[in-house]
Amino acid sequence: MCGIVGYVGHRDASDVLVSALTRLEYRGYDSAGIAVFEDGVINVAKSKGKLKDLVEKMDKEGKPKGVAGIGHTRWATHGEPSDINSHPHSGARVTLVHNGIIENYKELKEFLIKDGRRFLSDTDTEVVAQLLDHYYNYISDPIKAIIRTTQDLRGSFALGIVFENYPDTVFAVRRESPLIIGVGKDENFIASDVPAIIKYTKDYYLLEHDEVAVLSADGVKVYDTHYQPVVKTLKTADWDVDAVGKCGYPHYMIKEINEQPTAIRNTVTPRVKDGMPNLEECNITPEALRKIRNIFIVACGTAMHSGMVGKYVMENIARTHVTVDIASEFRYRDPIIGKGDLIIIVSQSGETADSLAAMRLAKQKGAQTLAIVNAMGSTIAREADMLIYTHAGPEISVASTKAYMVQLAVMYLFAFELAFAKGTIDEEKYKYYTSKLLETPDMVQRTIESTTEIAQKISTQLITADSLLYIGRGLDYALSMEGSLKLKEISYIHSESYAAGELKHGTISLITQEMPVIAVATQSALYEKTVSNIKEVKARGAKVIMICKESDDVPGDVADCVLKVLDFEEILLPMLVCVPLQLIAYYTAVQRGNDVDQPRNLAKSVTVE
């Protein structure tokens, strides 16, 4: 979704803003713009399209020159992508950029039109600019005007603002939408996310809801809604510029696939003590686990798919009932939850609107909430009762890979801990599972090495397909859901994942020679059953790509192509098998010439419902 940045310091502000926006491209956008103070006057440049279109436009028409300004990448919500609808937007003396959605913009617009104001764009953002200008006209103090304006706004916003009479000063305020304040030496920044500014500084403040920040080259001041100064705690990002660069890889996605062993290590190792998981630093104690009645895992997209694996594992070894819910469904279905229930919210960004709303609903109903989040300091992380950070580092590719992998790792840690606390596994088994989990970084590394070539070959066979099917049973089915999503979001080939045993109840009628089937069969107890289902689709002409274990003896007539993964503890196999599924999706998208890291219509962080 939209990205916002702001800069005030000694460098060329246009260059800094464009460079910072480049680091936010992963969020998905369809237009971009900047506003820079030039000799005390706010100079705006904006364009539909990508940042390179904006840069070309500025090369032709002149780049705003100055040392302070704001910038934006827009993911259209109100009004089509166009030059006019691009941010920044202005009232007479106020110019701003916005990430979020103003729910009551229509009524505010009507009020402003009656007051004699005219609008150029279809956006809710221009309404905020005009409203702020309206209050600024008679309050004249910019901070008071911002505070007064936010009192009228319903919805979510992160705003970067410049006022005509305050050259080389950037103002910012947020509610719901993320915003950080980067703190440098003689220069300061605002950004939707830390990667935008990591090239310049690792130090930042988190802005709380409705706090107003005032940035100049020599300092940052923050005020609460009563105009009282707020003392902020400086945070430091613990990763470097390489973490947000491609480091020689052609795409972020393949870089991130290769970072998975390190991501697992960083996530699991600090949580293992004396050979056993220890989640006490996350506020999770065996006593609390024993009291849990039902577990609900609530999330969206890939994060929800990690919950599907979690469900199978927790039910299997901890004998606890687990429901997996899509957050956008959960929040509106009046779920039967309350005291004694645990709601696990999984999110890479920690800002997904539906997941956040689901978590707030769960809290309201008296349930305990546990967040499994990657982005430090994000809203979901801050509001949950208990928190387990996944340490994947920044994930830039829209298609999630390493974040999914570490979400799986945490599902296992949690499931082992839960099972031991509930007495469904003994200490020996508990330590054994944990030791196997500690082996996964090496096993995932070996899987990347051993499956890349065959994944490339398989993808060559898929590039002309219009549609394909993923099938599996149990854990393999849970995993196939993610394989299918990965393929469709970046290759634009339609695919579905189906429980193999369910095919006969309708979906098998779709099978023709034109529909490849990727069958995942890694679980011994279900192997024969899945092979029978594979034979059924094979008999109806499907081209079958089968994924199974190295030791499986696959009869020649079962599959057209067999991809084998290393033998390993079966319950942990999803962590290995997701690798070739990611690679197949990646190479298919590459061969189809798609924009792998920023697939069409998608945004990395879905901050609107």
Catalytically active residues are 2, 604
CB 448 within 8 A of CB 582: no
State the minimum distance, in angstroms, from the CB of residue 347 to ligand AGP.
3
Q: How far apart are CA 272 and CA 195, in angstroms?
A: 29
Contact flag: residue 256 with ligand AGP (CB under 6 A): no
State the minimum distance, in angstroms, from the CB of residue 295 to ligand AGP.
18
Contact flag: residue 347 with ligand AGP (CB under 6 A): yes
171 bridge partner residues: 161, 214
Question: Between residue 163 and residue 192, which ones bind ligand AGP under the rule CB under 6 A?
Answer: none
Q: Which of 406, 386, 403 is nearest to 270 (CA)?
A: 406
Q: Is 357 exposed, middle or buried (0-12, 13-18, 19+ CB in 10 A)?
A: middle
Contact flag: residue 328 with ligand AGP (CB under 6 A): no
CB 244 within 8 A of CB 396: yes
As given in the structure block, the two tokens for residue 204 are: 């930042």
Return the ∠ at Cα 339 (arms to 334 and 342), rounded to 5°.
80
As given in the structure block, the two tokens for residue 419 are: 């099972």
> In degrees rounded to 5, what are phi and psi of residue 454?
-70, -35
Is beta strand 467-472 parallel, antiparallel or unpaired with respect to 494-499?
Answer: parallel
**Of 52-60, 185-193, 396-404, 409-417: span binding ligand AGP (CB under 6 A):** 396-404
Contact flag: residue 348 with ligand AGP (CB under 6 A): yes
**Of 78-86, 141-149, 331-339, 599-607: span binding ligand AGP (CB under 6 A):** 599-607
State the minimum distance, in angstroms, from the CB of residue 28 to ligand AGP.
9
Q: Which of 473, 354, 346 is nearest to 404 (CA)?
A: 346
Contact flag: residue 451 with ligand AGP (CB under 6 A): no
Q: Is 462 exposed, middle or buried (0-12, 13-18, 19+ CB in 10 A)?
A: buried
Q: Binding pattern to ligand AGP, positions 523-552, x when CB under 6 A?
A: ------------------------------
CB nearer to ligand AGP: give 184 or 301. Answer: 301
For 199, other C-beta atoms within 10 Å of its C-beta total: 16
CB nearer to ligand AGP: give 101 or 398. Answer: 398
Contact flag: residue 398 with ligand AGP (CB under 6 A): yes
In sequence order, what are the residues at sequence separation of 6 or more whose Cβ sits closer than 8 angstroms to the Cβ of residue 566?
Answer: 443, 446, 447, 450, 549, 550, 576
**How many residues touch ligand AGP (CB under 6 A)?**
16
CB nearer to ligand AGP: give 150 or 352. Answer: 352
Residue type, 330: F
As given in the structure block, the two tokens for residue 42 are: 């706010």
CB nearer to ligand AGP: give 223 or 404. Answer: 404
**Of 73-81, 249-257, 330-338, 342-350: span binding ligand AGP (CB under 6 A):** 342-350
State the minimum distance, in angstroms, from the CB of residue 297 to ligand AGP.
12
Question: Between residue 285 and residue 304, which ones bind ligand AGP under the rule CB under 6 A?
Answer: 300-303
As given in the structure block, the two tokens for residue 50 are: 């990508």
State the minimum distance, in angstroms, from the CB of residue 396 to ligand AGP.
12
State the minimum distance, in angstroms, from the CB of residue 196 to ligand AGP.
17
Contact flag: residue 277 with ligand AGP (CB under 6 A): no
Contacting residue, 73, 188, 352, 588, with ligand AGP by CB under 6 A: 352
Contact flag: residue 606 with ligand AGP (CB under 6 A): yes
CB 414 within 8 A of CB 312: no
State the minimum distance, in angstroms, from the CB of residue 132 to ligand AGP.
30
CB nearer to ligand AGP: give 150 or 588. Answer: 588
**Of 105-113, 114-122, 334-342, 397-405: span binding ligand AGP (CB under 6 A):** 397-405
Contact flag: residue 400 with ligand AGP (CB under 6 A): yes
State the minimum distance, in angstroms, from the CB of residue 450 to ligand AGP.
24
CB nearer to ligand AGP: give 347 or 523. Answer: 347
Q: How far apart are CA 582 and CA 451, in angstroms?
A: 11
State the minimum distance, in angstroms, from the CB of residue 223 to ligand AGP.
30
Contacting residue, 22, 73, 349, 484, with ligand AGP by CB under 6 A: 349
Strand order in the sheet with 494-499: 494-499, 467-472, 517-520, 544-549, 561-565
For 436, other C-beta atoms within 10 Å of its C-beta total: 16
For 363, other C-beta atoms within 10 Å of its C-beta total: 15
CB nearer to ligand AGP: give 542 or 575. Answer: 575
Contact flag: residue 355 with ligand AGP (CB under 6 A): yes
Q: Which residue has the tokens 């339609």?
A: 494
Angle of helix 260-268 versus helix 427-462 axis, rounded to 10: 160
Contact flag: residue 268 with ligand AGP (CB under 6 A): no
HSE, CB side, 13 Å, CA atoms: give it for residue 155: 22
Question: Between residue 481 and residue 510, which ones bind ligand AGP under the rule CB under 6 A?
Answer: 489
State the minimum distance, in angstroms, from the CB of residue 279 to ligand AGP.
20
Upstream peptide bond of 167 is cis (omega within 30 degrees of 0) = no
Q: Which of 160, 130, 158 is nearest to 8 (CA)?
A: 160
CB nearer to ligand AGP: give 164 or 496. Answer: 496
CB 37 within 8 A of CB 168: yes
**Of 15-23, 25-33, 347-355, 426-434: span binding ligand AGP (CB under 6 A):** 347-355
- Contacts to ligand AGP by CB under 6 A: 300-303, 347-349, 352, 355, 398-400, 489, 602, 605-606
